[in-house]
Amino acid sequence: MKTPPAPARELPCDAALGKRVLVAGCGYLGRVVARELHMLGWDVTGITRSLPSAQALQEEPFRVLACDIGDRAALAALGSFDAVIACASSGWGDVESYRKVYLEGTQNLLEVLHPEHFIFTGSTSVYAQTDGTVVTEESPAQPARETGQMLRAAEEVTLAAGGTVARLAGIYGPGRWALLSNFLDGNAVLEGDGSRWINQIHRADAASALVFLLSIPPGIYNVSDGTPATQREIYTAFSEHYQRPLPPTGPLNTTRKRGYTHKQVSHAKLRALGWSPMYPSFREALR
């Protein structure tokens, strides 16, 4: 998938010069967040859990170290930070790895580093709605699965400390777009009548939103492109774009790790404060 050059964007953090920020979890998303912050003048440190991952980022223009957010002494040795963005992921681990990375990791970052700004990168999967309704930050967020409950617990710890919770929709972008890979590999299934709503956010927009969040009041913010699309709409667009048939139909997949949901995520709160996505829907990225 080709990514068009990013249009010039206003810099939201003109007070950033020389301020120290830790991007805790410099993976698919964190790496791009760290790059943006570096370009805005922040003094950026990125961490990964493993040494090979940190070594793979040595060409980046910011400092990258291997440091486990589960290790309080190692975190303390990093020094102090004005801002911390928790962007580590458990991968698709079990509930214990969710506890370690999201809940205990968040507690450690807050209690050891006491940053002025803290952002927890969470997920819209905490909205367990299955009725296709629009969900805002005011909607109930009561995940049925323990993994989702762990994310909610990390959110509560964040909010209690005066931090910000970013609830991200499914991230896609260069080199990672599960829906498209499944479609191209022939593994996609059109579930039921294909009317399930899917909420996405391009990685570039997820990164710009996290940076933007550093400049607005703390709270909960949904981060999505604001254009939910049904599974059928998405596969139809892929099918037309690649001149391939629609995937076969099959039953609803209710065994997803973070639970089966069917809802339309609103990003109106963030948008009203001045953020907007470069990719208002997956269609712009596909083109």
Ligand X SMILES: NC(=O)c1ccc[n+]([C@@H]2O[C@H](COP(=O)([O-])OP(=O)(O)OC[C@H]3O[C@@H](n4cnc5c(N)ncnc54)[C@H](OP(=O)(O)O)[C@@H]3O)[C@@H](O)[C@H]2O)c1
List residues near ligand X by CB under 6 A: 24-30, 47-50, 53, 68-70, 87-89, 91, 101, 105, 121, 123, 168, 170-171
Q: Parallel, antiparallel, or unpaired for β 170-172 and 164-168? A: unpaired
**H/E element, 65:** strand 63-66
Q: Are 102 and 151 in contact (CB under 8 A)?
A: yes
Q: For residues 40 and 179, which CB has a smaller minimum distance to ligand X in the complex?
A: 179
Q: For residues 66 and 246, which CB has a smaller minimum distance to ligand X in the complex?
A: 66
Q: How far apart are CA 26 and CA 66, in angstroms?
A: 10
- The least CB distance from residue 176 to ligand X, in Å, is 7
Q: How far apart are CA 258 and CA 130, in angstroms?
A: 13
In 3D, which of 228, 226, 229, 227 has the Cα closest to residue 275? 226
- The least CB distance from residue 67 to ligand X, in Å, is 6
DSSP conformational letter for 173: B
Q: How far apart are CA 238 and CA 241, in angstroms?
A: 5
Residue nearest to ligand X (CB): 27
Burial-class residue 147 by CB neighbours within 10 Å (0-12, 13-18, 19+). buried
Q: For residues 66 and 251, which CB has a smaller minimum distance to ligand X in the complex?
A: 66
Q: For residues 50 and 80, which CB has a smaller minimum distance to ligand X in the complex?
A: 50
Residue with tokens 């803290």: 118
Residue with tokens 């296709």: 132
Q: For residues 8 and 157, which CB has a smaller minimum distance to ligand X in the complex?
A: 157
Q: How far apart are CA 149 and CA 271, in angstroms?
A: 27
3-state DSSP assignment of residue 188: coil
- The least CB distance from residue 117 to ligand X, in Å, is 17
- The least CB distance from residue 116 to ligand X, in Å, is 21
- The least CB distance from residue 242 to ligand X, in Å, is 22
Q: For residues 27 and 192, which CB has a smaller minimum distance to ligand X in the complex?
A: 27
Q: For residues 202 and 232, which CB has a smaller minimum distance to ligand X in the complex?
A: 202
Beta bridge partners of 20: 43
Residues 6+ apart with CB under 8 A from 159: 165, 218, 219, 220
Residues 6+ apart with CB under 8 A from 42: 13, 16, 19, 20, 21, 83
